[in-house]
Amino acid sequence: MSLLGPIPLAIWAWIAFGAAALAIGAYVIKMRRRRFEVPFSTLWKRVLEQKDANSLWKQLKRLMSLLLILGILAIVLIAALDPTLGAVDRKARSVVVLFDASASMKAMDGDEAGKQSRLDAAKQRTKALIDSMGGGDLAMIMKVDGQATPMSRFTSDGPVLNKVVDGITASDTPADLTRALGAAADALRDRPNPLIVVVSDGAFPEAQLGLVSWDAGKPVPATDPSAKATSAEWNAKNLAAIDLSNVDVRYLPVGRRSDNVGIVAFNVRRYIANKAAYEVYIEVQNFGQEPAHRQLALYNGDTAVDVKRIDLAPGQRIKQIYAKLPGSADNKLRASLRPLEGAGGSDSFALDDQAFALLPARKKQKVLMVTEDNLFLEGALLVYDNVDPTKVTPAEYTARPTVADGMDVVIFDEFTPDVMPPAPASLLFFHPTGPNSPFKERGNLAFPRITEIDEGHPVMRWVTLSDVYMDKSAVFAPDPKKGESTIAYSVRDPIIVAKRDGRRKVLAFGFSLPSEGRDAGTDLPMRVAFPMLLVNTLDWFAGDQTDLLTTYSTGTRERVPLDGVVGATEAEVKGPDGSLTKTPIIDGLATFYGARVGYYDVTAKDAKGNPMAQIELAANLASPAESDIAPSTELTLGGQQLEPPEAFAITRSKKLWIYLVLLAMALIVMEWVTYHRRITV
Amino acid sequence: MAPAASASLSSIKKSAVARDNRVADRSELFDERFLKTLEHLHMVSRKVFAGNIRAERRTRKVGSGIEFADHRTYSRGDDFRYIDWNLYGRLDKMLLRLFEEEEDLYIYILVDVSDSMAIGSPLPKLHYAMQVAAALTYVGLANLDRVAIIPFADRIIDRLPPSRGKNRIHRVFEFLRSCDLGGKTELAGCMKDFVAQNKRRGLAVVISDFYDPEGFEQGINTLRYNKFEPFVLQVYDKREAEPQLHGDLALVDCETGDTREVTVSKSLLEQYTKAHEAYCKELEAYCTKYALPFFRTHTSIPFDQLVLKIFRSGGFLR
């Protein structure tokens, strides 16, 4: 018999002592009795005297009652220690079943007829494995997809484990074997006869299969200069590797077929110059051993943009680019592969036959220019078809500041107003001055030259300002504590600065644009960089990022920007199936994890529940390793080929707690009956 | 006094007070209906015992009657007229003829008003005993006997002097309504006092539960030895004979305050019932042994039925 309970013996002893003291105390403390008046106690005295002749027996019965209660207590406390008969059998094993529930397990090749999925076949094999376990063997089921999720604790209860296995569903993500092996090795640490059984089709990336260490070797000492390189190499490899020393790892393969053609890449982007148009990139690969024929269709919403037949040789990957596609109201794109009738048309894995993408949102901005006639500024804006410009003079704005109401962007050219436009309109200043300047000025600079720019800032993307001429410029004193940052320096003097003020964004140039009657001069408007600078600025104001990706792979954790989020710490993610989950927002970036293929909607809300920022995302399998559904009958992990699991040795084990609890319950019932029948009192 | 005993006694007092409220209220005990029942009983008694001589009861006292009772040896000073000369002729002994003296019968109704008589549900034994006492008194008064009522507990509590004629019944009711109650049962002492206070012998009807820790024998013997004719009427409550108790209890004697902790089981209850029955049988055996009229009744039996039973069995009326 062994005691495997989680309660330390010292605590158990205290509990036992306390419980026994309570029980004895309950017997010692005199019970307060109900008073009852009798007319003639002499009669009772006679009866009791007669009964008291057996007082020794009476006391003995009371003692027996106490002993019975103490016995019940002892039984319950022993049961709490989870005693087990036969668990010390050296052949008993601790097993973690790594159950592959990745996307490839959805392949319909669990049986010859193609009516059963790999997942179902894996469940059958796992249950057979569980059923073959001995009484002393303990097993834990761990689901492996993009994450490693323990589905049960270590138990020898076969029906419970089978129920857990039955409840597993496959996700749309690739499997992360490394993470799962690490979790299994941690779970098996200090357990006797550890065993990991990988139930899978073997569709793992090569990189994951190598991150395993079978021997707990020591790092090579770095004292010897000649061994330094070896030591560094050893450490780099082994610190990332999963330590499986002394762990027996077995592989239980499932799957039969390999014929699959899948979309392995699908993305879309708008043209920078013409955001109304976009181009699409698709990669399709034949993972089968036979030539395949498919119909590839591209849809924009429900409208078919292109449908074509593609023929793929075994293993061939083709790339399709659809250029200069005209935009439409619907920003959802979908690529679809349909098997053609005849030879090479079969496909047992449907998940990668569809892929989804989203065009970045596009919005026409209302721009108000507050300027005297400035041909450079107006001309630059007119070439950008994504804006709706309006112009007023500074005098008109001063007379009627409400003209800026409802504007997305207001540009002040050589003018700093007393009354700022209402938020969230973003503001662009050229040479702001005076007390109302959005940025504090600390002087002026003659003939400055832009020597450094913040290349990471969206405004400075693809822009070169290194030899721009300016005859003078204001120098700002941005305060980083207020979120103000410098995006262009003249040596160490900030001359272009930006900031976020809640949902409003503000950008200021320290210099003026050339105009009639203005003594300031710069050649910036004559450069290619100027319209690009304006477009970048307007895109930044609008929250558009030309290089923003809206299409991700399932099973990967990405951080996506949520423009204009202030104060929110978490966003709501609506999945393809309509499910709602929460995800944290850190520094304006929301964490996104797609477990299913399809469209997602990430929304940040303010305290009142009103949407603050929202972004649509698409998730695709996009994993050649998962789409390559050819089952691996053999799996090599860290250079060691895994064997199928052997039959479990027959071990005996009886968990005694249930019997002890039943015994305690029987004794309690007996005590109750004997007490109420006045046998033990 | 020990604090525990003091607490016990105080709780007993409290319970006695609580009980008094119920028991002391005797205003409804003798109402018009009760009186009618008594009249009915009287009529029935006349019918049942027709032919008996009213108010001319033969007593054991020998004296100037006409019916021969016994002989005794002549002693100096005896009336020569009563010497049995025939016997003297045959036996050569001077024997005197004795005759039963005919006189008014004295009936003493001794009612136990101790605390134990206050127990009973729905009717306390005391009320039942008083109704029976009133009924017997009424019949006695109507028969022109001299009837006295003496309530007792640990002493003779009060006394309604002997009176005759049924017009006295309202005085009896008033007395029974207003007499003091409570105390321990001490039969021996009370009977001793009774015989000392009442020199005229007669019928002594003792209505009690006879729950005297010292026993009932001495009290009844005192009556017997002093030439009274004891008439024993035991009243009990069914629930005290067969109590419906269960569990752990502290049994408190309502008279003495003695407390006894007991766990009442079915077997214990059976033993108690047997013990109670044995006690009653003991009393009955005693009465049978000495040819004393004995009646045992519980409070569930209507009092008029009991009285009729007494009449039918004889002993009270002759």
Contact list, A48 vs chain B (CB under 8 Å)? 260, 262
Predicted local distance difference test score (pLDDT) of residue A589: 83
On whether residue B5 sits in a domain, the answer given is no
Give the least confident one: A71-75, A109-113, A365-369. A109-113
Query: Domain range spanning residue B79?
Result: 57-103
In order, the DSSP letters of B249-283 are EEEEETTT--EEEEEE-HHHHHHHHHHHHHHHHHH
Percentage of residues in chain B having pLDDT higher than 70: 83
What does the pLDDT look like over A585-629, one tens digit per residue? 887 788 888 888 999 988 888 777 777 778 888 898 888 888 888
Contact B260 A34 (CB under 8 A): no
Asked whether the beta carbons of B155 and B182 are under 8 A apart, the reply is no
Query: Quick one: average pLDDT of A324-329?
Result: 78
- Specify whether B86 is located in the same domain as B30: no
Contact B275 A48 (CB under 8 A): no
Domains of chain A: 2-87+669-676 (no CATH), 94-256+631-652 (3.40.50.410), 261-358 (2.60.40.10), 365-542 (3.40.50.880), 551-624 (2.60.40.1930)
Q: Is B119 on the interface with A (CB under 8 A)?
A: yes
Selection from A147, A171, A164 nearest residue A97 by Cα: A164
Integer angstrom CA distances of residue B261 from A35, A675, B248: 9, 17, 7
Number of CB pairs, chain A paired with chain B, less than 8 A apart: 84
Place B63 in a pLDDT band, splitting at 50, 70 and 90: low
Predicted local distance difference test score (pLDDT) of residue A475: 94
* Tokens 């009192």 sit on residue: A681
Q: How far does CA A278 lie from the centroid of its chain?
A: 30
What does the pLDDT look like over A19-50, one tens digit per residue? 888 888 877 776 678 888 888 888 888 888 87
Predicted local distance difference test score (pLDDT) of residue B52: 42
In terms of residues, how long is chain A? Answer: 681
Contact list, A47 vs chain B (CB under 8 Å)? 268, 271-272, 275
Residue A217: both structure tokens together: 């070797």
Give Cβ neighbours of residue A192 (< 8 Å, ≥ 6 apart). A90, A92, A93, A94
- Specify whether B70 is located in the same domain as B30: no
Give the least confident one: A246-250, A292-296, A328-332, B114-118. A328-332
Give Cβ neighbours of residue B291 (< 8 Å, ≥ 6 apart). none
- Specify whether B79 is located in the same domain as B178: no
- Specify whether B247 is located in the same domain as B137: yes
Place A224 in a pLDDT band, splitting at 50, 70 and 90: low
Query: 3-class DSSP state for residue A611?
Result: strand
Number of domains in chain B: 2
Residue B280 above 90 pLDDT?
yes
Residue A4 above 80 pLDDT?
no
Predicted local distance difference test score (pLDDT) of residue B156: 93
Give the least confident one: A240-244, A538-542, B4-8. B4-8
- Specify whether B98 is located in the same domain as B138: no
**CA B117 – CA B23 distance, rounded (Å):** 9
On whether residue B193 sits in a domain, the answer given is yes
Predicted local distance difference test score (pLDDT) of residue A15: 85
Place A652 in a pLDDT band, splitting at 50, 70 and 90: low
- Specify whether B61 is located in the same domain as B181: no
- Specify whether B71 is located in the same domain as B34: no
Predicted local distance difference test score (pLDDT) of residue A429: 94
Residue B4 above 60 pLDDT?
no
Residue A351 above 70 pLDDT?
yes
Q: Considering only residues 270 to 309 of chain B, which have any Cβ-Cβ distance to chain A shorter than 8 Å?
A: 271-272, 275-276, 279
Residue A368 above 50 pLDDT?
yes
Contact list, A40 vs chain B (CB under 8 Å)? 116, 209, 211, 213, 240, 253
- Specify whether B99 is located in the same domain as B156: no
Q: What mean pLDDT, rounded, does chain A reach?
A: 83
Query: Quick one: average pLDDT of B109-138?
Result: 90
Q: Is A43 on the interface with B (CB under 8 A)?
A: yes
Give the least confident one: A169-173, B148-152, B180-184. B180-184
- Specify whether B237 is located in the same domain as B274: yes
Give the helix ranges, DSSP H, for A326-450. Answer: 375-382, 394-399
- Specify whether B180 is located in the same domain as B207: yes
Residue B58 above 60 pLDDT?
no
What does the pLDDT look like over A284-310, one tens digit per residue? 999 888 888 899 999 988 888 899 999
